[in-house]
Amino acid sequence: MKLTSLTTAASLLASTALADVDTRTVTFENEGSTLSGTLYLPEGHDGSPLPAVVVTGAWTSVEEQMPREYAEEMVERGFAAFTFDFRGWGKSGDLENQVRFKEDPTAKTSDIRAAFEAVAELPEVDASQINGLGICASAGYMVDASSGNSLVSKVGLVAPWLQNSEIVEAVYGGPEGVSGLIEAGRAAEAAGGQIIPAAGPVGAEGVLMPMGGYYYEADRGAIPEYDNQWNNASWEGWLTYYPADHAQSFDKPLAIVHSEAAAIPQGVRAFAEGLASPATLEWLEDVTQFDFYDNPEDVTRAADTVADHFRAD
């Protein structure tokens, strides 16, 4: 694992205070690309090792969106936290063949594993207490990256999107809709990629998420750092990825926070039924998927649950 941290002088220049949080940039390597991440520490921290949380976000997201929200919450609760941009997104390097904006479950899972390795080398981190926190789509990637991984102590999932074949068909227009998207994805792949906007207003055409809300609002997720791009070559990998079926191989203590008002709660139930060990399941009332990303009250409640889980003996 090649790990690059900023020098002390550069770190002082690059560090920013976010409330009671200091940050510094950390880069690391995976499969030939350089990934850009951020280490979050309590303001004025003396450099001694802290238990840590690697935080990952929803599909198409960058680290300055919901990952930063939860990283700051974890620091307020006594942890170091680490966020990063996946390959092909934000400030990180490309996927193979200079591909960008591809939602690739296999690649993103690999990036999370590499992030755990990078975090374990940081002097401010207690390598015996590294936890994973996956939000929305990256919940499945976090499950897969943590399973059998000796670097990972515990896992928390917030508003997890855990799909299986039945859920995929229900969400994406039945067997015909899924087949059509897979064929479109293959055509885009053969053409070297086809990039469309990820988010747009309600009813917009040619947009992945034509619904307004979080990703489309400048005071929420539509921040300058957000790529707002989607590569249609993503479809086959995404639609054939079934993390709700991966519970049998999962071997970490787990806490999940979700709501019946958020996305595909049936996926959480399917995953939980397959777990070999009991998990902490916290169901909040009337919390939407986007509320989990940045609504202060809901973020605080979710962060409390996962932090308590990470601290428990």
Q: What is the dihedral of CA 64, 66, 72, 73, to 10 degrees?
A: 180
Residue 124 has pLDDT above 70, yes or no: yes
Q: What is the pLDDT of residue 3?
A: 42
Confidence grade of residue 313 (pLDDT, cut at 50, 70, 90): confident
Backbone angles phi, psi at 12, to 5 degrees: -65, -35
Instruction: Give all domains of the chain, ordered by start, each with its CATH number.
Output: 3-164+242-311 (3.40.50.1820)
62 sits in the region (left: phi over 0; alpha: psi -120 to 50; else beta) called beta
For residues 268-283, average pLDDT: 96
Query: Which residues are paired to 40 by β-bridges?
Result: 23, 81
Whether the CB-CB separation of 151 and 142 falls below 8 Å is answered with no
Q: Whole-angstrom Cα distance, residue 213 to residue 201?
A: 8
Q: Please state, in angstroms and rounded to a whole number, the distance separating the CA atoms of residues 22 and 31.
A: 29
Band of residue 19 on the pLDDT scale cut at 50, 70, 90 = low
In terms of pTM, does the model score above 0.85?
yes
Measure the CA–CA gap between 22 and 241, rounded to whole angstroms. Answer: 36
**How do residues 177-191 score in pLDDT, each as one tens digit?**
999 999 999 999 999
* Crossing angle (nearest 10°) for helices 296-311 and 66-76: 50
> The tokens of 58 are what?
């929803």
Q: What is the pLDDT of residues 33-91, one digit of tens each?
A: 999 999 999 999 999 999 999 999 999 999 999 999 999 999 999 999 999 999 999 99
Dump pLDDT digits (tens) for 132-145: 999 999 999 999 99
